[in-house]
Amino acid sequence: MSQYLQGLNESQLKAVLHKDGPIMIIAGAGSGKTKVLTTRIIHLMAAHDVDAFNILALTFTNKAAAEMKERVAHILGNNARNLYIGTFHSVFARVLRAEAPKLGYPSDFTIYDADDTKSVIKTVLKELNLDDKVYKPNTVYKRISDAKNSLVGPAEYAMDKFLVQEDARANRPAMAEIYDAYTRRCFKNGAMDFDDLLFKMYILLTNFPESLSKYQQKFRYILIDEYQDTNPAQYEVIKLLGAMHENVCVVGDDAQSIYSFRGATIQNILQFQKDYDDVEVVKLEQNYRSTKTILSVANEVIANNRDQIPKTLFTDNTQGEKIRLIRTMTDNDEGRIVADTIQEFRLREHFQNGDFAILYRTNAQSRSFEEALRRMGIPYRIYGGLSFYQRKEVKDFLAYLRITVNPRDEEALKRIVNYPVRGIGKTTQDKAVLLANENNISLWEVLTRAAQFGFRAGTLEAIEGFVNSVKMYQSELSKKNAFDLAMIIGKSSGVVKELFNDKSAEGLARYENVQELLNSIKEFIETPDNLESGEVGDKSLGAYLQQIALLTDADDSKEEENVVRLMTIHAAKGLEFPVVFVGGLEENLFPNAMSINSREELEEERRLFYVAVTRAKHKLILTYANTRYRFGQLQQNDPSRFVDEMPQEHIDRSYAGNSARQPSSSGGWSSGSAFERMQRGFASAPTPPKQSYSVAPARPALKEHVPSENFVASDLRDLQAGQRVEHQKFGFGKIARLEGASHNPIATIDFDQNGQKKIMLNYARLRIVD
DNA sequence: TCATAGCTACTTTTT
DNA sequence: GTAGCTATGA
């Protein structure tokens, strides 16, 4: 038996050795999924002489792709180079780059990220004279994105009775029109958004049979990671590509499907067996990652879900210790106790910083952990949030590069036409945009022909100066590599100088970020071959821009850093850590308040919890806070229902007070482990009482109110103006009026002691007095 | 035309 | 608590 096959268990081996025909691998958490995928690729090449050029492996994250590639390269060396391994988005972008003219796009089409997309939506809304309070860019984006991910174009959308009716009911009848205008605008700009990369790939394959057959022949063996997270667009493309050889291998775990909000449908994996005849199904049920305790907690919680493929995960690992459940008074205490526990484990059990991960439901939760770690001098790194490439200064600089490569890119143009300030202000810009629309030409063309359009002499001079310098950059495009050209642009545009002259701390950071960006371009041109595709050497600026558009900050991997990692649970999928903290286990936060209205949504939250738990190898610590600041307001939450769903014999509650649920206002704090005393110390530390309203100097100080003995939050659905209520902090008051959307009602309350305040009823806890 | 202060809406998750 | 937008004055 070949060496690379050794150490595989029976099912793993079965999955690897299966050569032709469709196969579905149901891979439980920690069951060696990546190992199976990579070994399968190695086996295809080593034992069956399959050409690397004929293998396509698709993942959801760059990180997963890089890991796979690396593992294959480890065994096969240079042969691995020609494999097509990448994310759906990056592989499709590469294909589309080659085929763009067929679809009427320039090869150097721009890829719009979420910010660009929203910005285009705002532009379109303005031009259609629509109120962006009714048509919130986020809502519109979601709607369009959902449509594209279901392969519904603007024309189909407008004719889809159900969709149109939905929009009408939501009081957004112009949605179809917006979608159409948005699509046209992107096309005019020579740009595709994230969803287009999937949608246009589908269009390419369906409208151009010769392209379909070309890629069908090329990709004889197809492997899909995380199949449970595919959306209909991805599903259809895979089906098309695999139709000729039917060598489609999908790997997934229905229990880890956590992206339905992005259009993923669990049906794809549940139905796979119906898509092809003779599907081989292999289940990987042995977990190599976690202790018996952790695994049984995960199993027991997920058993509450109705929709799932039956399977039994087991492990030969040790029993391990109980799961620690920690309750704290506030979110800040939660941060401190986690930091403290990390310290404890480091000292007593010799863990390193890099062994710890802190996971949470929402990005906003990172703050308290971050502060606590910083205070204790524990090095950490936050993943997610604003990625490097989304920072303003980086985007500004990139906009120069983008406009050089694709002058039709209006979003980029608007960013930099007056940055650094050169006397082309808002009035001029508005006029130019108007001219572009009236004459049906691009904004760039208006600027290049500015003399014809009667701008003021000074303004005209400014425009011409700008146009000439961009034209100069463009003329260098074919002569210079990405880095040299970027350097020229940085110097000549004045961007670098502008940042250099800003000596404030933020200015310094911005300057460094742009330098960092230049470094990354240098790195790009110096990398010997393009790891993404295996195709050698497109070092142009256009290639660089398309690559980074799909990068997130989780991808710039300084993996070896020995630091504590903070990230959302979504971002942690596919990763494992010796010690895992999961924070904010509270109702309304996790499960999130947005997701408790239907069984499907709640089950997805539960799967998310399952993902969180199964990241841990040795130790798992769950925390929740009695009160936490959210949205400026102090909120009280009950412990998460998931806490109750865990097998209690595996839980160490000695850090959680005595009562499981509904901690009463006085009870639960009197017993005393050393740790608990310490915790109480934190809770009652002499920090000044927090203000739950903004601290405007003119406003009178809050007259603190002591809640009544019998304070119980009332059901506020039938709240009426004129009723008297009690608020825990602001005291007694009278409802002056009710306003806001029905799903987010806002009450204006005249408080006896604290004046008038606006309170969001979704969050507030009010007792109706009479 | 530009800088700034103040107001508002937002927080679910992301390629 | 903050980013992004608007109104205001220089």
Q: What is the pLDDT of residues A639-676, one digit of tens each?
A: 999 999 999 999 999 887 644 443 333 333 323 333 33
A766 — pLDDT class (breaks 50, 70, 90):
low
pLDDT at A688 over 70: no
- Report if CB A305 to strand B is under 7 Å: no
Question: Which residue shows structure tokens 């310490």?
Answer: A678
The pLDDT of residue A760 is: 56
- The closest nt to A367, taking CA to C1', is C1
Q: Which residue is nearest to nucleotide B2 (CA to C1')?
A: A425
Whether residue A256 lies in the annotated active site: yes
The pLDDT of residue A337 is: 93
The pLDDT of residue A759 is: 59
pLDDT at A333 over 80: yes
Which nucleotides in chain B lie less than 7 Å from some protein C-beta? 1-3, 7-15
CA–CA dist A463, A280 (Å, integer): 64
A133 — pLDDT class (breaks 50, 70, 90):
confident
* Residue A440: how many other CB atoms lie within 10 Å: 8
Q: Which residue is nearest to nucleotide B1 (CA to C1')?
A: A425
The pLDDT of residue A511 is: 85
- A564 CA, B6 C1': Å apart: 38
- The closest nt to A629, taking CA to C1', is C1
CA distances for A354 relative to A374, A383, A400, A513, angstroms: 15, 14, 38, 25
Average pLDDT for A140-161? 94
For residue A82, the 8-state DSSP code is: G
- Report if CB A14 to strand B is under 7 Å: no
Which region among A9-23, A100-114, A536-550, A733-747 has the lowest average model confidence (pLDDT)?
A: A733-747
Which nucleotides in chain C lie less than 7 Å from some protein C-beta? 1-2, 5
The pLDDT of residue A537 is: 61
- The closest nt to A632, taking CA to C1', is C1
Average pLDDT for A244-272? 91
Residue type present at position A549: A
Which region among A364-373, A411-420, A598-607, A724-733 has the lowest average model confidence (pLDDT)?
A: A724-733
Whether residue A33 lies in the annotated active site: yes
- Report if CB A547 to strand B is under 7 Å: no
- A162 CA, C4 C1': Å apart: 34
CA–CA dist A159, A157 (Å, integer): 5
pLDDT tens-digit series, residues A706-754: 656 566 666 565 667 778 877 666 677 777 766 654 444 556 677 776 6
Query: Which of A196, A225, A587, A604 is flagged as catalytic?
Result: A225
pLDDT at A593 over 50: yes
Residues β-bridged to residue A734: A724, A750
Whether residue A225 lies in the annotated active site: yes
A111 — pLDDT class (breaks 50, 70, 90):
very high
pLDDT at A523 over 80: yes
- A752 CA, B13 C1': Å apart: 40
The pLDDT of residue A732 is: 78
Q: Assess contact for A363 and A369: CB atoms under 8 A.
A: no
The pLDDT of residue A757 is: 63
Which region among A50-59, A347-356, A498-507 has the lowest average model confidence (pLDDT)?
A: A498-507
The pLDDT of residue A714 is: 63
% of chain A exceeding 90 in pLDDT:
48
User: CB neighbours of A614 closer than 8 A, spacing ≥ 6?
Assistant: A29, A30, A287, A289, A290, A294, A295, A298
Whether residue A718 lies in the annotated active site: no
Query: Which of A324, A408, A510, A615 is flagged as catalytic?
Result: A615
Q: Assess contact for A736 and A728: CB atoms under 8 A.
A: no
Relative to beta strand A577-582, strand A564-568 is unpaired
The pLDDT of residue A642 is: 95
CA–CA dist A147, A183 (Å, integer): 12
Q: Assess contact for A519 and A482: CB atoms under 8 A.
A: no
Q: Assess contact for A433 and A443: CB atoms under 8 A.
A: yes
Among chain A residues 260 through 299, which have CB within 7 angstroms of nucleic chain B?
Answer: 261-262
Residue A316, phi-psi category: left (phi > 0), alpha (psi -120 to 50), beta (remainder): alpha
The pLDDT of residue A500 is: 82
Strand boundaries in A237-331, DSSP class E: 248-252, 280-284, 323-330
The pLDDT of residue A214 is: 96
The pLDDT of residue A292 is: 96
User: CB neighbours of A540 closer than 8 A, spacing ≥ 6?
Assistant: A477, A481, A482
- The closest nt to A90, taking CA to C1', is B15
CA distances for A538 relative to A42, A98, A431, A485, A533, angstroms: 27, 12, 38, 15, 11
Protein residue ranges contacting nucleic strand C, Cβ under 7 Å: A 122, 367, 629, 631-632, 690, 694
The 3-state DSSP class for residue A81 equals helix
Q: For residue A107, count CB atoms less than 10 angstroms from its CB and return exposed for 0-12, middle for 13-18, buried for 19 or more.
A: middle
- The closest nt to A633, taking CA to C1', is C1
Among chain A residues 193 through 222, which have CB within 7 angstroms of nucleic chain B?
Answer: 194
Higher pLDDT, A531 or A28: A28
